[in-house]
Structures are given as structure tokens and as C-alpha cells.
Amino acid sequence: MQDAFGAPQSVLLLGGTSHIGRAVVRRLVARRARTVFLAGRPSTELDTAAAELRGLGATVTTVEFDALEPGSHEDVLGKVFAAGDIDLVLLAFGVLGDQARDEHEPRGAVEVAATNYTGAVSASLVCGAALARQGHGSLVVLSSVAGERSRRSNFIYGSSKAGLDAFALGLTEALRPAGVHVMVVRPGFVRTRMTAGLPPAPFATTPDAVAQAVEAGLRRRAELVWVPGVLRFVMSALRHLPRPVFRLLPG
Ligand SMILES: NC(=O)c1ccc[n+]([C@@H]2O[C@H](COP(=O)([O-])OP(=O)(O)OC[C@H]3O[C@@H](n4cnc5c(N)ncnc54)[C@H](OP(=O)(O)O)[C@@H]3O)[C@@H](O)[C@H]2O)c1
């Protein structure tokens, strides 16, 4: 259960090696979270993430989870919830893909869509239903500003995030009567493994800044969080730019 200050004590991170996800969980462990499940594809990186959180005092269990295997989600994630209540599920898996390549190799594009959208739809529905049975808890979904308006340079990734974002906003309404809080997080460019080697976009930020925004959002039970916050206004303007003007912008 959450403590008297509403801080989660048990956390399930979907995408157990995600740089952003790990920053959020580190912050929550520093606040009081004690039980952590890291769900991801088995790797030394996943073991390292678990060891890091154990070093901070958390009890950590790794769980084999593949977004591209939605048929297994009910079973895999069901076992996590069977072990006890989960206060916070953080959906942090995703792939950027390689837009230039994937435009010509649709299988790559399908993998981006299947991971970021289909896999997330499946995992969110499974976790959402489990949280609803508990009657409490939060589901935090890492969307992206890339889903706000698709750009020439990354519309495959952007469209997968647009779909996920729309889905998660609807899920917010569907789960609210059951006492479940859904929070959609729209970061801009975050310096992580995913963006390594890419030139930083304007308003580039860090995993720790996203973690701070997630924690603050959880405290006030926000349903939509932009990181950094100024992107809310920037994207509101960009969304309404006429196409011929939008086309002239870099990226
Ligand atoms: N970085 C940014 O600029 C940025 C901006 C906005 C939103 N986001 C979103 O934030 C989330 C976290 O990104 P990040 O920056 O932390 O990137 P990251 O460090 O590369 O993390 C991506 C995570 O997704 C996992 N993943 C990929 N395919 C998977 C699959 N089939 N099954 C299970 N897990 C899978 C990876 O696991 P493996 O270790 O097994 O590969 C890794 O844990 C993503 O949804 C991303 O789209 C990122």
C-alpha cells in the first residue's frame, strides 16, 4: 500500500533496463519504495539494474517480459500481482527504430509499432485490470512529444507514440471509476541509451529530470505531465502551425 504521503511502496517497471525507468525507480526507492519488480528481456543490463536498486535497499525481483509476446503478458504480469499489491506500474519500454532504414524495411517499422503500441496496449490492459481489482494504484505511461505531431524524420516512432498516447488517455477514463490513477508522461528529447549519438533537440533533458516530474505528478495525481513543462506550450503552438510552415522546421 502507499504510505501516508501517497508514495508508492511497491513498483513494477516494464522495461527494467530503461534509463528513464531506472531513474524514476531510484528516486522512488530513495523516498520509501521497498519492493521492486523489473520486467524485461533477460540481459546482464537487467541484472545490473536489479543490483543497483538492491544496493539502495530495495527487494528486487526480475521478471522475464517481452513486449513483442503479448500472448504471455497475462501470465507473466499476473504472477507479479499474485505476489502482492502493486502501487505503481511504470510502462517504460519502447524502441526508437531506424526511420531511414525502416521506411524501406517495413518489418522494422512493424517492430516499432508492435513494441511501442501493441505491446503497450496489451501490458497496460493486463496491469490496468489488476490495479482495478486491487482498487488502487497508478499506471504511468511514457508517451512522447513525438506523438503530438508527426515529423518527416521520425513518423514511424511518432505514430506509435501517438497511438499509445490516445490509448492511455482513454484508459485514464476507463480506470478512474475503479480508483486507478493513470498518468501520461510526454517527455521531449531525453539523453539516454535510446538517443545516444543523436544531436540533442531543443529543450533536451535528463532521466533524473523526468523522474522528478513523475514523482511530482504522482504526488498531485496529475493525469498528463510534460517534461520539461515548457513543452506543453511549445507543442500547443507547433500543433497548430500550418503544414507548409511546419514543413520548414528542422527535423
Ligand atoms: N529518450 C528519449 O528521448 C525519450 C523521449 C520521450 C519518450 N521516451 C520513451 O521513454 C521510454 C523509455 O525510454 P529510454 O529513453 O529510457 O530508453 P532505453 O534506455 O533505451 O529503454 C528502452 C527500454 O525498452 C525495453 N524494450 C525494448 N524492446 C522491448 C521488448 N520487446 N520487450 C521488453 N522490453 C523492451 C528495453 O529493454 P532491453 O534492455 O531488453 O533492450 C529498455 O528497457 C520509451 O518508451 C521511450 O519511447 C524516450
Q: Could you report the per-residue pLDDT of 25-46, keeping only the tens digit for each? A: 999 999 989 999 999 999 999 9
Which pLDDT belongs to residue 251? 73
Considering only CA atoms, which residue is closest to atom 8 of ligand 1?
144
CA-closest residue to ligand 1 atom 1: 190
Determine if ligand 1 sits within 6 Å of the CB of residue 49.
Answer: no
For ligand 1, atom 12, name the residue with the nearest CA. Answer: 92
117 catalytic, yes or no? no
Query: Omega of the bond prior to 228 within 30 degrees of 0, cis?
Result: yes
- Identity of residue 212: Q
Q: How confident is the model at residue 6 (pLDDT cuts 50, 70, 90)?
A: low
State which of 12, 14, 18 you would mutate to test the pocket of ligand 1, scoring each by most atoms of that ligand within 8 A of its C-beta.
Answer: 18
Whether ligand 1 lies within 6 angstroms of the CB of 195 is answered as yes
- The predicted structure's pLDDT at residue 1: 61
For the chain, what percent of residues have pLDDT higher than 70?
98
Distance, first Cα to last Cα, the chain: 44
- The number of CA neighbours under 13 Å toward the Cβ of 128 is 24
Q: Which amino acid residue places its CA nearest to atom 20 of ligand 1?
A: 194
Between the CA of 211 and the centroid of ligand 1 the distance, in Å, is 15
Residue 251 or 4, more confident:
251
Instruction: Please give the model's pTM, rounded to 2 decimal places.
Output: 0.97
Q: Give the amino acid at 34.
A: R
Asked if residues 92 and 99 have their Cβ atoms less than 8 Å apart, the reply is: no
**Catalytic entry in 37, 65, 93, 157:** 157
Poorest-pLDDT segment among 54-58, 106-110, 150-154, 204-208: 150-154
- Find out whether the beta carbon of 159 lies less than 6 Å from any atom of ligand 1: no
| pLDDT for position 216 | 97
Q: Indicate the SS3 state at residue 83.
A: coil
Instruction: Name the percent of the chain lying above pLDDT 90.
Output: 96
Averaged pLDDT score across all residues of the chain: 96
List Cα–Cα distances, 160 to 19, 92, 105, 245, in angstroms: 20, 14, 16, 24
Instruction: Kindly tell me the sign of the dihedral angle through the C-alpha atoms of 114, 116, 118, 120.
Output: positive
The CB of 189 under 6 Å from ligand 1? The reply is yes
Q: SS3 for 202?
A: coil
Give residue 250's pLDDT: 79
Position 208 scores a pLDDT of 98
Residue pLDDT, tens place only, 91-145: 999 999 999 999 999 999 999 999 999 999 999 999 999 999 999 999 999 999 9
Q: Whose CA is nearest to atom 2 of ligand 1?
A: 190
Q: In degrees to the nearest 10, what's the CA dihedral of 107, 110, 116, 120?
A: -120
**224, burial (CB in 10 Å: exposed 0-12, middle 13-18, buried 19+):** middle
Q: Does residue 33 sit in helix, strand or coil?
A: coil
Give the per-residue pLDDT at 122: 98
Radius of gyration (C-alpha) of the chain in whole angstroms: 17
What is the atom index within ligand 1 of the atom nearest the CA of 68?
31
Whole-number pLDDT of residue 36:
98
